[in-house]
Structure 1
Amino acid sequence: MRKGTAMSAVGVAQGRRTGTGGGVLWAWAGAGTGLAGMVAVQASNNITAAYDEKTAGDAARVTEAFAQQTGPLLVLHVALMTATVLLPVFAVGLWRRLRSTLPQDSLLPAVAALGLVLTATATLLGSGLDTELYFALNGEKSMLAPELALIGAHWIGTIPWLWVGTGLSGVAVAAASLRHRAVPLWLGWASVVLGGLTLVAGISPLQYTAGFIGPVWVLVAGIGLAFSRPAVPAAPGR
């Protein structure tokens, strides 16, 4: 009996050290982030006041058109803030998962986590004008300078799409998988494709295209990590 208790205690201790006892809620936070990001991008895509040929460049007309698109604006705000609060949870969980299996001097866990934190910063900033615009457009529009509405419409159409940080995370996860088998091999190759495309798109002049791909990688990674078992820790000096 004592021997079984001792072995159980050792197992718990090893689980804590390697991260195998940490649960998977953090991974589901990643999946939730991916869904929220996809909703946010589509909501932003439906706010066209600043880009419609009939209104573009005319602050007064943009304000009038924007006032008819406050529904997507509200959806955008909720989705962006959901992603903002879930991303750090996923980032820390991913760091712990990779840290428990990669060599101690590997930079990959930190790079993967910091890429997600960078994206969380973009989603937070992307929602910065949402509520002010929402209440002004649904209230007395005479209190809202048309120039602010014009800037806000462009802000909403650009900043929430800056998901390049997830591309950096995806490439780090790909390296952790293909070089060290720290996560399933299929997720490594998915990260090569989705993470690589997100990173290249974000660096290129077509940077907003990253908003289409980045949330998909986070969704796939979150689900994949939720259902996968942690890899065996790397031996010291490996």
Structure 2
Amino acid sequence: MVDAVYDPDTAGDPSAVVSRLSEQVPQILVFHTATMFSCVLLVLFAVGLHRQLRGRTAPDSLVPGVAVAGLGLVAVAQLLGAGLTTEFAFALAEDPDLVLPESAAFFNHWIGTIPWLWGGAGLTGLALFGAARRGAYAPWLGWASLVLGGLSALFLVSPLQYMAGMTGPVWLLVVSLGLLRTARES
């Protein structure tokens, strides 16, 4: 939704990017709020998952730590990814001339990449696969975590790391529903 730097009509022209971004302030603020809300929810989910994994895995297992660390990486990426939004949004709303065109272009690239670094969720997915292989969860949950988490982890180490922004949230949705089902069956 905040696409000034990617729009063929403005790409490569920092002054045109500033002008277009000044028209997208509402979208920037919605992006900021949604990203920060997601960040908070991810931390809560990660802590709950960590607690649950501690109870379902061996006392010396690395699985709970890897799981919470993976989602922690995602939450930090979202926190940092949305960190500049208010500074730019308020300056763009007040007077677009307050924003250096090159900085605005960088900002748009930043929010187009950093919050989508969901590769850490791949580590969590692989940890859940390991837990499911040891009987902590239903096999289908383990296989879903292997496939979606594995793809996210591959994106993490590739030059296309922001592509995990596609697979990571899908993994989270599938696992969340699976864990709710598991909790109801317990």
* Greater Rg by CA: 1
5+ long unaligned stretches in structure 1: 1-45, 233-238
* TM-superposed deviation, 1:147: 1.9
State how far apart, in whole Å, the 1-side matches of 2:108 and 2:180 are.
37
TM-score (norm 2): 0.94
> Are the counterparts in 2 of residues 101 and 231 from structure 1 also a CA contact under 8 Å?
no
Equivalences for 1:20-59 in 2 at 5 Å?
46-59=1-14
Equivalences for 1:107-186 in 2 at 5 Å?
107-178=62-133, 180-186=134-140
Partner residue of 1:191?
145
* TM-superposed deviation, 1:54: 2.1
2:76 aligned partner, one-letter code:
T
Give the SS at the match of 1:63. Answer: helix
Give the SS at the match of 2:183. Answer: coil
> Are the counterparts in 2 of residues 50 and 154 from structure 1 also a CA contact under 8 Å?
yes
State how far apart, in whole Å, the 2-side matches of 1:93 and 1:205 are.
31
State how far apart, in whole Å, the 2-side matches of 1:198 and 1:230 are.
28
Amino-acid identity (%) = 49
* TM-superposed deviation, 1:112: 0.5
TM-score (norm 1): 0.74
Give the SS at the match of 2:165. Answer: helix
State the number of aligned residues. 186
> Are the counterparts in 2 of residues 97 and 230 from structure 1 also a CA contact under 8 Å?
no
Partner residue of 1:20?
none
Q: Write the deviation string for residues 163-203 of structure 1: whole angstroms up to 9, x where unpaired.
A: 1100100010011102x111222111110111011111121
Partner residue of 2:156?
202
Larger RCO, structure (CA 8 Å, separation 6 or more):
1
Q: Write the deviation string for residues 71-124 of structure 1: whole angstroms up to 9, x where unpaired.
A: 321221111101111111111111111111111111011100110111110000
Q: Indicate the RMSD between aligned Cα atoms, in angstroms.
A: 1.6
Q: Write the deviation string for residues 103-150 of structure 1: whole angstroms up to 9, x where unpaired.
A: 111101110011011111000000011111111122211222212211
Spell out structure 1 runs of 4+ moving beyond 6 A. none
